[in-house]
Structure 1
Amino acid sequence: MKKKKMGIAFRDLEKKSIDDSDTDFSDESREIDGFDGMETDDNEEGETSNMVQAENETIGSNSELDQSDEEDEVIKAIKAEKSKPRDHPPAITCEDFIVDISYSPSNNLIALANIMGDVLLYEYNNDENKLLNTLELHVKACRDVEFNEGGDILFTAGKDKAIIATDVETGKLKCCFENAHEEPVYKLVCLENNKFVTGDDGGTVKLWDLRKPDPCMSIKIGDEHVSNMITNESEKYLVCAGGDGVLTSIDLKGSKIYTTSEDYDSELTCMGLFRSETKLLVGSSKGKLYLFNWKEFGLHSDEYVGQKHSLQCMVPVTQNIVVTSGEDGILRAAHMFPQRQLGIVGQHSLPVECLDISHDGQYIASCSHNNDVKFWNISYFETIDSLIDVNHKQNKKKDMSNNLPSSSVKNASDFFSGLM
C-alpha cells in the first residue's frame, strides 16, 4: 500500500522570497602618512607623490589580474556544473494552480490534479517530462489524486463532492460516485482489494468498495475538515487528522471509532509512518511535530519543533528520515531517531502544497503556489542515514546551515563532514 502525504490548505497567497546572500567587494583606500615633526621640501614631496602613484598603479594592475583569475574560476565552476549530467527530471510549470500530486507505485508516471478539476498525467525522466493525457474529471477543483496499489487505476476526489475512478492506460472512466458526500471531499486514501476511504469538509469519513454503489461505512469524527488519513499494512486502523486539532483513529474492521486524542492547539495537517510502521509522526499548522506509538493514538510520546512556519506536508524517505515543507516553501530533512535537523533538500519561492516520493525512492516531487512541480534527487539519503551517529552531540547551528545535494543552494563546506 502506498504511504502518502499531506494536508491541503487554501489561503491567501503571501509570497515568501528566499534571497541568496550577497557579497560586496569594495576597494580599500591606502594612505601614506607623514611622521610628526619631520620636515620635507618640495622635491621630496614630489618624489613621494610619484612613488605613491606608481604603487597605486601596481596595486590596481594586480587587483585586476586577481579579479580576472577569480572570474575565470567562477566561469570554470559554472561550466563544470552545467556539464554535469542531470540527476533529476526538469520542473513542470502549469497554467492552473496544482492542488495535489501523486506518483505511480509501479512506473515513471506522475499525476497532477489542478483547481480546474483536471488531472495531467506525465511520464518523467532525467531529460524531459512528457504529457501523456489530460483527464477532465471534475466540474470543480480536484482536491486529491491517488493511484491504487497496482498503479492501473487513478482515484480522484473533488470539491464537487464526486469520487471518480479512471483507467490509467486508456483514460476511460471506470466508476463515478456522484454526491458521494454531503460536503466537498477533502482527502482520499486507497486500500487493498478495490477499497478506499474518503474524508470531507464536515468531518465525515466513509469506506468504499469499488464494486458496490454505496459506502460500506460512514462515521462522523468531528465538525472540521478531515485534513489527512493514514493506515498501515494490516489496514486494521485508519488514523485521521482533523482541522479541529484532534487525532481520531477508526477500527476499519469493526466500523467504529477506536480512540480520540487530546485537543491540540492547531490544525493537524500531515502524517507519516516510521520504524517499520511502529511510529506515527504528525505535523501541525504551527510547525510542531508530534510522535505517537502505533495503536497509542490518544497522547503523543514525544514532541518536536519542526519549524516556525506551518507544516503542510511530509514524506518519509527512510525508516528514520522525514522531509517536510509548507508555508515558507523550503523542503527540510530531519532525522527522527535521534532527532536532528539534516539540512535543506530544495526550495520554492512560494508555499509548498504537497510532497510525494517516487516508486523507486529516488525522487521527491513537490508542488507550490507557483503552479509548478519540482523534482529532487534523494538517493543520497540511504548513505546519510547510515552515517548518523546516535552518540554524536548535535550542533544545531551547523546542521541548520547545511544544504543537501539536491538543493540548488551550495554548501560552503562538504555536508558529509558534519555527520561523522
Structure 2
Amino acid sequence: MTLDFRDMEKSTDSSDDGSDLEDSEMDEDVIASSNESEDENNDNNEDIHNSSDESEDDVVKAIRAEKNKPRDHPPTITTEDFIVDISFHPAKNLIAIANIVGDVLLYEYSNEETNLLKTLELHLKSCRDVEFDNDGLTMFTTAKDKVVMATDVETGKLKQCFENAHDDPVYKLLPLDSNKIVSGDDSGTVKLWDLRRQGALFTIKIGEEYISDMITNETQKYLVCAGGDGMLTSIDLKGSKIFSRSEHYEADLTCMGLFRSETKLLVGSSIGKFYLFNWKEFGLHSDEYIGHKHSIQCMIPITQNIVVSSGEDGILRAAHMFPQRQLGVVGQHSLPVEALDISHDGQYIASCSHDNDVKFWNISYFESIDSLIDVNHKNNKRKDMINNLPSSNIKNASDFFSGLV
C-alpha cells in the first residue's frame, strides 16, 4: 500500500517519547569499553586476531576507520504537527519543514543543536511540498488549498502567489530556475509557471492519477513525471508537449533519482521495486531490482552509484546500483518515512517520519567507501539488507560489510 498523506486529518498530538537511540546504547565509550575488554581477554584468540590484521584489505580498513570516528550529526527535531515534507537549503545550514496545518518551519542546524528561526504560516490547508530554488533565495510551497507560493527566504515575505493554481490539490513542485517552476496535481495535470507572469505558461493533462514526483536534468529539455497511474510520462518542456509514455506498471511509481552523470534514471514503486531507465529512453526500463519488502516512498542519490531510499517500513537503506547490491541500513524510524533530502555539503541526509520528527544521518563515509566496494563479489543479499552502516543507530561492528570482499 502506497503511503499517502493527501487525505489525512490534522494531527494535534505531539509525538515525543523522550528517547534517542543515538544517545543511549550507541555511545562510542561503550564500544571503546567493549574493545578494551576484548583486548584484556585475548589469550585465546591472539593468533586469530593477528591473522585477521594481516589479511585486512582496503575496504575493511576503511570501514574500521569509519566505525572509530564519532558519528557527528545534528540532534533530532520533533514537532507538534505531522511533517509532510522537508528540504535542505542549497547553500546554508538551514532546513525547511512543511507540516499538515499549512506552516513551514525554518530551522538552523549544526552538530550541536537545531534552532527554530521562523514559522511561516503560508497555507490554509495541509502542505504538500516545499522546495528551494538553486540559489536558496526563494522557497516554493504548495498545499491542499490549491495554492502555489513563492516566499523570500531572508525576509519571509511573499514574492508571488498563484491562487487556484490547479483545479485539484497540487501534489508536487519542481523549481527549474529562480523564476520558473512546474507543478503536478492529484488528477494528472502538469503546469509550468513563471513568477513574472500571472497565468501558467502551459497546461498539460498527462493522466488521471496523482503526480508523485517530477525530475529533469541540467539541460531541462525533458520533464519526467511519475505517479499513481503506474506510468512514466515525459514532457518536452521547450515544445510544450508530451514526448513519450512508458509501459504500464502494476504499481504506483512514487519517486525518482538521477545517476551516472544524469544518464540513468532510477524509479521507486509502491511494491518495493526499483526500475532503471536510460535517460531519454523512458518507454521501457533496462533493469529492475527488489529494493524493499514494502512500498518505497522516497529516495535520494548519495554518489553517482549509491542511493538511499525509505518508505513504509521506516528503514533507510543504501544500495549500490551499478551493478545492484544492497549495502545496508543507514538509519531507522519507528514509523513510515515520508521524505528524504541531502544537505548542501553532502554530509547529512535528513528523514521525516510519521513520528512528527526529523532525524539527521551523517553519510559522508559513502564518498570514501564507494570506490572500494567490490560490487562483482558474490554477496549475501539477505544479510546485506540488515547490515547496519556507520550512521545507523544500531551497531553490528563484527559483521559490518561482511561478504564484500
What range is the shorter-chain TM-score in? 0.7 to 0.9
Query: Is 1:209 matched up with 2:194?
Result: yes
Label 1:249 to 1:414 Cα distance change in 2 as closer, same or farther (>3 A): same
Label 1:166 to 1:8 Cα distance change in 2 as closer, same or farther (>3 A): farther
2:111 corresponds in structure 1 to 126
Structure 2 counterpart of 1:248, from 200, 219, 233: 233
- What TM-score do the two structures reach when normalised by structure 2? 0.84
The 1-side partners of 2:197 and 2:234 are apart by: 24
The 1-side partners of 2:141 and 2:310 are apart by: 23
> 1:76 Cα shift?
3.9
Query: Is 1:142 matched up with 2:123?
Result: no
Structure 2 counterpart of 1:100, from 70, 75, 85: 85
1:23 corresponds in structure 2 to none
Q: Residues 44-193 of structure 1 correspond to what in structure 2 (within 5 A)? A: 76=33, 87-193=72-178
Contact 1:221/1:248 (8 A) holds in 2: yes
Contact 1:143/1:187 (8 A) holds in 2: yes
The 2-side partners of 1:361 and 1:375 are apart by: 12
1:270 corresponds in structure 2 to 255
Identity %: 74
**Secondary structure of 2:370's match?**
helix
> 1:399 Cα shift?
1.7
1:224 corresponds in structure 2 to 209
Label 1:410 to 1:221 Cα distance change in 2 as closer, same or farther (>3 A): same
The 2-side partners of 1:128 and 1:74 are apart by: 24
> 1:77 Cα shift?
5.0
| Structure 2 counterpart of 1:123, one-letter code | E
Label 1:166 to 1:353 Cα distance change in 2 as closer, same or farther (>3 A): same
**Secondary structure of 1:215's match?**
coil
> 1:401 Cα shift?
3.1
The 1-side partners of 2:106 and 2:148 are apart by: 18
Structure 2 counterpart of 1:313, from 279, 298, 301: 298
**Secondary structure of 2:371's match?**
helix
The 2-side partners of 1:373 and 1:79 are apart by: 35
The 2-side partners of 1:399 and 1:264 are apart by: 27
**Secondary structure of 1:387's match?**
coil
1:138-163 residue CA offsets vs partner (Å, 9 max, x unmatched):
00011100000100110001100001
> 1:112 Cα shift?
0.2
1:17 corresponds in structure 2 to none
2:359 corresponds in structure 1 to 374
| Structure 2 counterpart of 1:184, one-letter code | P
**Secondary structure of 2:395's match?**
coil
2:57 corresponds in structure 1 to none
Label 1:12 to 1:189 Cα distance change in 2 as closer, same or farther (>3 A): closer
| Structure 2 counterpart of 1:302, one-letter code | D
Structure 2 counterpart of 1:359, from 331, 340, 344: 344
2:387 corresponds in structure 1 to 402
- What TM-score do the two structures reach when normalised by structure 1? 0.81
Segment drifting more, 113-122 vs 184-193:
184-193
> 1:419 Cα shift?
2.7
Query: Is 1:239 matched up with 2:214?
Result: no
> 1:390 Cα shift?
3.5
> 1:193 Cα shift?
4.6
The 2-side partners of 1:73 and 1:147 are apart by: 40
Label 1:385 to 1:8 Cα distance change in 2 as closer, same or farther (>3 A): farther
**Secondary structure of 2:368's match?**
helix
**Secondary structure of 2:299's match?**
strand
The 1-side partners of 2:334 and 2:153 are apart by: 32
| Structure 1 counterpart of 2:372, one-letter code | L
Structure 1 counterpart of 2:277, from 288, 292, 297: 292
> 1:9 Cα shift?
4.3
> 1:389 Cα shift?
1.4
Contact 1:340/1:396 (8 A) holds in 2: yes
The 2-side partners of 1:89 and 1:290 are apart by: 33
The 2-side partners of 1:417 and 1:74 are apart by: 19
Q: Residues 320-335 of structure 1 correspond to what in structure 2 (within 5 A)? A: 320-335=305-320
Contact 2:73/2:348 (8 A) holds in 1: yes
Contact 1:86/1:127 (8 A) holds in 2: no
The 2-side partners of 1:85 and 1:384 are apart by: 17
Contact 1:86/1:126 (8 A) holds in 2: no
1:58-116 residue CA offsets vs partner (Å, 9 max, x unmatched):
xxxxxxxxxxxxxx978945999xx9856000000000000000000011000000000
**Secondary structure of 1:413's match?**
helix
Label 1:73 to 1:406 Cα distance change in 2 as closer, same or farther (>3 A): closer
Q: Provide the aligned length of Structure 1 versus Structure 2.
A: 356
Contact 1:8/1:312 (8 A) holds in 2: no
| Structure 2 counterpart of 1:106, one-letter code | A
Q: What value does the CA root-mean-square deviation take over the aligned residues?
A: 2.4
The 2-side partners of 1:401 and 1:264 are apart by: 28
Contact 1:8/1:99 (8 A) holds in 2: no
The 2-side partners of 1:167 and 1:396 are apart by: 47
Gaps of 5+ in 2: 10-20, 22-28, 38-67
The 2-side partners of 1:397 and 1:259 are apart by: 37
| Structure 1 counterpart of 2:237, one-letter code | L
| Structure 1 counterpart of 2:221, one-letter code | K
Gaps of 5+ in 1: 1-5, 14-19, 21-71
